Amino acid sequence: MTENSPYPQPEKPTQRFNRKALNAIIIITALLILVFSQMGEWPAKDDTATPNLTTEAITDQTPSLQTTPTQAPLETLSTVPKTPLTQGRNINIQHWTNEDGAKVFFVAAPDIPMLDVRVIFDAGAARDGDLPGLAKLTSGMLIEGSENHDVDQIATHFEQLGAHISASAHRDMAIVQLRTLTKAKYLDPALTVFAEIIAKPSFPKNSFSRSRKQMRLSLEQEKQSPRALISKRNFQHLYSNHPYGIPPNGTNASINALSVESLKQFHGQYYVAQNSVIALVGDVTREQAEKIADQITLAIPQGQHAPNIPDVTKRKAGISDHIQHPIQQTHLLVSTLGISRTDENYMALYVGNEIFGGSGFSSLLSKEIRQDRGLSYSVYSYFSAMRSQGPFIISLQTKTESANEALQVVRESLNDFITNGPTQAQLDTAIQNITSSFPLNTANNSSIASYLGSIGFYSLPLDFLDTFTQNASKITIDDIKKAFRQVIDPDKMVTLTLGPKSIDLENKDN
C-alpha cells in the first residue's frame, strides 16, 4: 500500500492463500516448531533475501524474541537459520535522533548473530527535477567505487566477509542496506566500507558511462514491456508536472544530459544526515547501535532535510487513452489519485481494498471478472500510499474482444462498492485474513528493518506495529464507504488500454 512502507505493496499484488489453507499452514508450522524444539535444533534456511518493499512499522525496551539454537558458530550468512514464525513476536522499537540529525530506529534481536542496517534518504525520483533518472543513477553508482575502494574491491570485500550490500532508488526514497554477521571480525570491516560507500562515492567515469548505457538499453527494453508502458503512461496522466510524474528511469534526452558532476551535486544535497533515517535490527546492544549510527553519519554533512513534496492537483475530468502494441491480449488499467501515507483514511481503505481487489482470487473483482465471467485470469487493485498522494490502481488483462465488457464490470463493481460497501461477512473475513497474516510479515529481521525505515521516513506512529491489527479490527462498513467516497470519484478516473487495437471506451477526456 505504500512504497517501501509498512505492509508494502508490490506492483502486482500476489495471490493469497484462502483462510483454510492459511490455518493449515499455521498448524503445520506450529507442529514443526514443537518437533524441532524437542530435538534441540531448528533446520537452517537461507535468510539472505530482501523482503518486498515497495512496500516496499514503540517501546524503549529490549524485545523478547524467540531464540534459534545453533550447533556451531555462524561464519557466513548462508548458514543463518530463519527465525521461526510466531503469532506473537514482540517487537520493541527504540528511537532517537543522533547528534548529526539522523533519525534512528533500533530493534535488538539477540537470537541470531547478524545485523540488518537500512539507511533511507529522501532522495528518490521525485527529487530529479529537470534530469529524470538522476536519483536512480546516483543510487546505482554508490557501490561502483568509493574513496579507497574500486568496484571490484568492494565486491570482494563484502564477499569475503559473507555480507550483502545493495542500493536502490524509488519515487520517494533512496535506500542503502547492509546485512552482516555481528562478530567483530565481520561487523567492523563491513560497517567501515559501508559508511565509506554512503559518504564518499567516487563515481568513476568508466562505471558512469557503462551505467548510463545500461539505462538507455533499459528504455529500449521498456518498449517491449506492456506493464512498463502502461504504468509510465498512467503516471503521466495522473501527475502531469508533479514530481511523481518524473519517470524514474529517465528519458533518452535526460540520460544524455546526466554527468558525473550532476551526480556529485545530487549526492551532496540529498545524501546528508538531516535527510536520513537509519534502521538497525540485530544482535547488538543499544550502545553499539548508537555507535553504528554515528559511524554512518560521521563522514557525511549534516545538511538539511529535503523540502516537502507538494500535494497533487486532482483531475477535473476523466480521461481515456490507448497504447498501440502488437500483443494478443489487451491490458486494462483504471486509476485515480489515492492518499498519502499519513492520511486518516489509510486503514479503512486498506481493509476495504482487501475486500474489493487486494486479496487475490477471493476478492470481489476476482469473483466478478474471473469466476463469474471468465474475462481474465487475474485482476487486482491496490493503493500505493506515498509521501504525497499515491495512485489507486485496478489492473487486468483480457481478450481484446472482451475488453469493453471487462471495463464495464470494473466500473459497475467499483460504483457498487463505493455506494454500498462490503457485507458484514466480507468485512469479517477480510479482518480475519489481515490479522492472521500480519504477524508473518515481521517474521525476520530484514522485514522488521523495512518497517522501521518506513516508520521513520513517513513519520508514522511509533506503535504502528503494536496497533496495526487492532486498528484493522475496528474498521466498519461505514468507515469503508466513507473513505472510498472521499477518495475515489468514478467519473474522474484515468482509463488506459494497451493492445493490438483501440476499443470503444466511454469516459472520454473532456
CA 26 – CA 24 distance, rounded (Å): 5
| C-alpha span between 312 and 338 (Å, rounded) | 10
Which of the four pLDDT bands, split at 50, 70 and 90, describes residue 150?
A: very high
DSSP state of 388: S
- For residues 209 and 48, give the distance between their C-alpha atoms in angstroms, rounded to a whole number: 30
Per-residue DSSP letters for 395-415?
Answer: EEEEEGGGHHHHHHHHHHHHH
SS3 content of the chain, % helix, strand, coil (to 5): 45, 15, 40
Give dist(CA 392, CA 493) in Å, integer.
10
Cα–Cα dist 477/3, whole Å: 27
Cell of 274: 538531516
What do you get for the CA distance between the two ends of the chain, in Å?
A: 30
Reading phi first (left if > 0) and then psi (alpha if -120 to 50, else beta), residue 13 is in: beta
CB 390 within 8 A of CB 383: yes
* 398 phi and psi angles, rounded to 5 deg: -155, 170
Distances (CA, A) of 328 to 229, 289, 321, 410, 498: 16, 54, 18, 21, 10
Q: Is pLDDT of 274 > 80? A: yes
For residue 494, give the amino acid letter: V
CB atoms within 10 A of CB 72: 6
Give the pairing type, strands 276-282 and 103-108.
parallel
Structural domains in the chain?
58-69+87-298 (3.30.830.10), 311-499 (3.30.830.10)
Distance CA 177, CA 415 (A): 42
The position carrying cell 466513507 is 482
Which position has the higher pLDDT, 51 or 9?
Answer: 9
Q: Are 105 and 94 in contact (CB under 8 A)?
A: yes
Alpha-carbon 391 to chain mean position: 14
The mean-pLDDT minimum among 54-63, 141-150, 188-197, 498-507 falls in 54-63
Cα 384 to the chain's mean position, in Å? 9
Residue 66: per-residue pLDDT: 28
Which of 24-38, 131-145, 301-315, 350-364 has the least mean pLDDT?
A: 24-38
DSSP letter string over 175-213? EEEEEEE-SHHHHHHHHHHHHHHHH-B---HHHHHHHHH
Give per-residue pLDDT as tens, 20-66: 555 555 555 555 544 333 333 322 333 222 222 233 322 222 222 22
For the ranges 77-86, 415-424, 433-442, 497-506, which has the lowest average pLDDT?
Answer: 77-86
- The cell numbers describing 19, all together, are 483462510
